[in-house]
Amino acid sequence: MKANDIRQKSAEELQSKLVDLKEELFNLRFQLAINQLDNPMQIKAVKKDIARVKTVLRDMELKEAAAKATEV
């Protein structure tokens, strides 16, 4: 997942994507624990995607807060 793709989504879409990614990470960790994970690098990729989504969500929150601060 690219950062540009993430930035084009709304906050609600990003929240649902974050839930999906966390669920996927849980499943990958479970597969790792029972030795059924084919590619352990998937865990690293999902963690990075989670970080990207959280970063964009936080950026949106800060921009919204700055917009409210300038209105007052």
Which domains, ranges and CATH numbers included, belong to the chain?
Answer: 3-71 (1.10.287.310)
When pLDDT is averaged across residues 54-63 and rounded to a whole number, the result is: 96
Q: Above 90 in pLDDT, residue 61?
A: yes
Q: Identify the CA nearest to 17 among candidates 63, 69, 55.
A: 55
Q: Are residues 43 and 28 in contact, defined by beta-carbon separation less than 8 angstroms?
A: yes
Tell me, yes or no, if the pTM score tops 0.85: yes
User: What is the model's pLDDT at position 19?
Assistant: 98
User: What is the model's pLDDT at position 1?
Assistant: 74
Q: How many CB atoms lie within 10 A of CB 12?
A: 8
- pLDDT bracket for residue 72 (50, 70, 90): low
pLDDT per residue as tens digits for the range 27-51: 999 999 999 999 999 999 999 999 9
